[in-house]
Amino acid sequence: MHELDNAVVMVCGGAGFIGSHFVRLLAEKYPRSKVVIFDALTYAGNLSTIQDLLSERVTFVQGKIQDPATVNGAIEANHVTHIVNFAAESHNDRSILDPGSFIHTDVFGVFVLCEATNKYKIAKYVQVSTDEVYGSIDQGRFNEDSPIMPNTPYSASKAGGDLQARAHHITFGTPVCVTRGGNNYGPYQYPEKLISFFAVRLLQGKKVPLYGDGTQVREWIHVADHCRGILTVLLSGVPGTVYNIGDENERQNKQIVRILLEETGQNDELVKRIEDPRKGAHDKRYSMTSDRTRALGWKPQEDFETQVRNTVKWYRDNEWWWQPIIALPVYQDFVKAFYGRYLGEDL
Ligand code: NAD
Ligand code: DAU
């Protein structure tokens, strides 16, 4: 019998992009475990993403992680034994328009989950964080002992959550691990991030806004590899420890756009280079080592270019998922507010 066979795992943010992939992985690998998807269903969370997963063993509770009554109620009612938290405001560009909302979820929400972990003697809590908390690095790589130097309201709020987790472990012995992932891509990503936003727009024959000269570098990891890394930390991570989860696969934005153009059959004319809307907060390069997670037996398996192309194919074949999302005012209002002055009539 495996440790997770009798587990009840509360996956916060499980109706979002990465969280839903994690629920799929758990349900497939540990069909005898129970999963409670706890999600506020913000603009980024969609029941359509998880509808096929819901069953007697995989249930859904709507709630905000910063609301202790709802969090505690879900834990008590379902006898939760483990927590993995994906819930967050996750988009840098939105954190430029509305930085305050990020603090409620990404900082206070983590505090609430730490308190609940102590109160209900949760066996393990994994807080899913990001490589962005280290800030930008021109040369070399960050590791888990590098200082935290976030540059955007989003990454500063994630860093605040990481520090809550650290302080709770040190002060109260909270059994919490923090993971820091690189840039994810794959199916079911809300169409606002570089790959998902561009794929959906190019498939519609619309212009795409490339910020600045497009030479910024991100360390890309396929969502399946990221989720396998998080599961490894859930199973074997040492409480109080940070684990980087990256693929050491660095690409400039413009290199990615080239693959997206090829796969959608579009040409350069649809790429509109715009003045950088992130200004000083646009980190030049993310890069980190993930040796500590590799030492637990994890390693990335997916090939980047193949999987970017598969991701575009997925968006091409699954308009049923993204067409209703981009038809909503909450999507269109953001695109207008953020890109209106750059793309003009071409929204
Ligand atoms: P996402 O925006 O697609 O999904 C976030 C989910 O959390 C949504 O389902 C949303 O409804 C839910 N949510 C938001 N606020 C909530 C709240 N207050 N209470 C409960 N649920 C709430 O995000 P994602 O890209 O899947 O990222 C998941 C996590 O992984 C985030 O914590 C993010 O910081 C981290 N991360 C993301 C990436 C990436 O490239 N996308 C990389 C590394 C780490
Ligand atoms: O590094 C991990 C982080 O990756 C996660 O913590 C975040 O949740 C996730 O959103 C992502 O953050 P980035 O800001 O790096 O991702 P994004 O896809 O928004 O942008 C990637 C790069 O592409 C960045 O240099 C900005 C650029 N870009 C992005 C968009 C949306 C463009 O040039 N045009 C665009 O329209």
Percent of the chain with pLDDT over 70: 99
**Hey, what amino acid is at 300?**
P
**Hey, what amino acid is at 85?**
N
The best mutation among 10, 17, 113 to test binding of ligand 1, ranked by most ligand atoms within 8 Å of the C-beta, falls on 17
Task: Summarize pLDDT for 124-136 with one digit per residue, the tens.
Answer: 999 999 999 999 9
Residue 24 is encoded by which pair of tokens?
Answer: 């799929």
Residue 333 is encoded by which pair of tokens?
Answer: 């209002």
Residue whose token pair is 């996750």: 90
Provide the pLDDT for residue 345: 67
Please tell me the pTM assigned to this model: 0.98
Strand partners, 244: 180
Q: Which fold has domain 8-185+221-245?
A: Rossmann fold (3.40.50)
Output b/e per residue, 248-263; b: 16+ Cβ within 10 A: ebbbebeebbebbbeb
Domain boundaries, the chain: 8-185+221-245
Q: Given 93, 131, 162, 302, which residue is catalytic?
A: 131
d(C-alpha 144, C-alpha 105), whole Å: 23
Please calculate the CA angle 40-42-43 and round it to the nearest 5 degrees.
160
Residue 171 is encoded by which pair of tokens?
Answer: 């002060």
Residues with CB under 6 A from ligand 1: 12-13, 15-19, 39-42, 44-45, 64-66, 86-90, 105, 109, 128, 130, 158, 181, 183-184, 190
Task: Summarize pLDDT for 212-268 with one digit per residue, the tens.
Answer: 999 999 999 999 999 999 999 999 999 999 999 999 999 999 999 999 999 999 999
